Structure 1
Amino acid sequence: MKRGFTDHDQDLHVQGVTCAASSGWTAGAARSELGLDNGDRSVSGVLSDVDLRAEDIRAGLYDGAQIDTYAVDWRNSDIFVPVSSGTLARIEMRGQDQAAFVAHVEGPAARLQRSIGRRYTPLCDAQLGDARCGLSDPVGTCDKRYATCRDVFANTLHFRGFPDLPGEDFITLYPRSGDALDGASRGGTGRL
């Protein structure tokens, strides 16, 4: 089901969807970093039984919804320009009576910033004390290095990094007289 909202003072009908003016819908500022706008933005409004209900938000009814924003000529709503598109990342209910909300919308570029799977890095990607780390009551802090896992926690069996990855200087290495060329690890930078 499509829902429409507007910050205009009257309802607008755009592409067959009635955009409610009574919602108090207002657009927040878009975030831009290094001149590359990934389209992240927020919008806010007021909950009402007609438009958006708190129960629906708590139940996750709108999670992942497609959000399209248009600039519309209020005198002739057949004249519009697409402004942005994104996916609803999360909704926060605000105010003492939880009657207002802020919806956080991710632009298309947000998908490029997500980590999918594991990263190949010499550092451990587990959190100290979690199930992947394997330590039940760790004492101290962990800097995610293999040497710390080995020397401080004696937990190398559960180290979740890749300590034998070649360092940045790997591309400049060449065989030298006296090197053992047996295929064994050179002890990548992660084991320090």
Structure 2
Amino acid sequence: MSETIARAWAVERRDGLVLGFTDHDGALDFDGIAFRPDSGLSARALVQGLGLSVDNSEAVGALSDSAITERDLMAGRWDGAEVRLWEVDWSDTANRRLLFRGHLGEVLRSGAAFRAELRGLSEPLGRAQGRVYHPRCSAVLGDGQCRFDLSRPGYAAEGVVEAEGRLALSGVDGHDAGWFEHGQLVVLSGEALGLSARVKADAALPGGGREVELWTALGIRPAAGDRVRLEAGCDKRAETCRMKFLNYLNFRGFPHLPPEDWLIAPKVNR
């Protein structure tokens, strides 16, 4: 039976795109996925630990315009993609065994090839859990703890890119300077569709425009004419939660904690 065993990979991006690869010399098809033999994708030896050890492996492949492209890798479209690896009998694909399930980690590129780290399902169990006691809020704006609805009027705006670099947008007016700082910019059209980044600074321009600076550049730069959405930002302070979002009941920080220097300050007897 070992003569008919092959490996098959399924990689699913966060936007729902699913690609299948196999090291067999012919195409395979199961679970509604077509596994292609012409991608150049292969796998290093899989290392699986007992207990809570992190599964460890690596996918290696050649860049292909019809599969995993350099442009998509640089844009981060494959970051965090779900990965499944089977050992399958190519003469009868119903006879298969799931070897690995996890996500793509760091992706490295060298010339026309890439190497992607694979992270197993047990990895999140090694992260710190529980609440952080800090004056600022520990929630993410709009998540299940914050409970703020970003679709409320005034907390998001759409605009059109006028210039690249420090993005100049038109059609965004009625917001104070800095309203979108610490928020998010999401690209709605063009080659950078779906990419997003955190906003470092934003300023109102005459005539209803906006000038936005991002913390990290997008993998694909939005071009003039592309549409983007700006979402209001939160700096995690209690005052911001109360005055800007009217959401203080859901504030997840501890604003009345004494500062760190209070612990080492000399005590005065009274």
The TM tier, using the shorter chain, reads 0.5 to 0.7
Q: d(CA) in 1 for partners of 2:123 and 2:33?
A: 27
Give me the identity figure in percent: 33
- In structure 1, runs of 5+ residues without a counterpart are 121-156, 164-183, 185-192
Partner of 2:211: none
8 Å Cα contact 2:84/2:98 also seen in 1: yes
Following TM superposition, by how much is the alpha carbon of 1:78 offset from its aligned partner in structure 2, in angstroms?
A: 2.8
**Partner SS, residue 3 of structure 1:** strand
Which has the higher mean CA deviation after the structures are superposed, 34-43 or 58-67?
34-43
Superposed structure 1 runs of 4+ greater than 4 Å apart: 32-37, 116-120
Partner of 1:10: 26
Following TM superposition, by how much is the alpha carbon of 1:64 offset from its aligned partner in structure 2, in angstroms?
A: 0.9
Name the CA shift for 1:56/1:77 in 2 (closer, same or farther; >3 Å): same
Q: d(CA) in 2 for partners of 1:34 and 1:63?
A: 26
Q: Paired residue for 1:113, among 120, 123, 126?
A: 126
Following TM superposition, by how much is the alpha carbon of 1:114 offset from its aligned partner in structure 2, in angstroms?
A: 2.4
Count of aligned pairs: 123
Partner of 1:88: 104
**Partner SS, residue 45 of structure 1:** strand
Q: Paired residue for 2:45, among 23, 26, 29?
A: 29
Query: Of Structure 1 and Structure 2, which has the larger fraction of its residues in strand?
Result: 2
**Partner SS, residue 72 of structure 2:** helix
1:115-130 → structure 2 map (5 Å cutoff) = 115=128
Q: Paired residue for 1:62, among 78, 83, 86?
A: 78
Q: Paired residue for 1:100, among 102, 108, 113?
A: 113
Structure number with greater Rg is 1
Q: d(CA) in 1 for partners of 2:97 and 2:49?
A: 25
Q: d(CA) in 2 for partners of 1:18 and 1:33?
A: 30
Following TM superposition, by how much is the alpha carbon of 1:85 offset from its aligned partner in structure 2, in angstroms?
A: 0.3
Following TM superposition, by how much is the alpha carbon of 1:25 offset from its aligned partner in structure 2, in angstroms?
A: 1.6
Query: Structure 1 residue 46 and structure 2 residue 99: aligned?
Result: no
Q: In structure 1, what residue type is equivalent to 2:125?
A: L
RMSD of Structure 2 on Structure 1 (CA)? 2.9
Q: Provide TM-score, normalisation by structure 2.
A: 0.40
- In structure 2, runs of 5+ residues without a counterpart are 1-16, 134-258
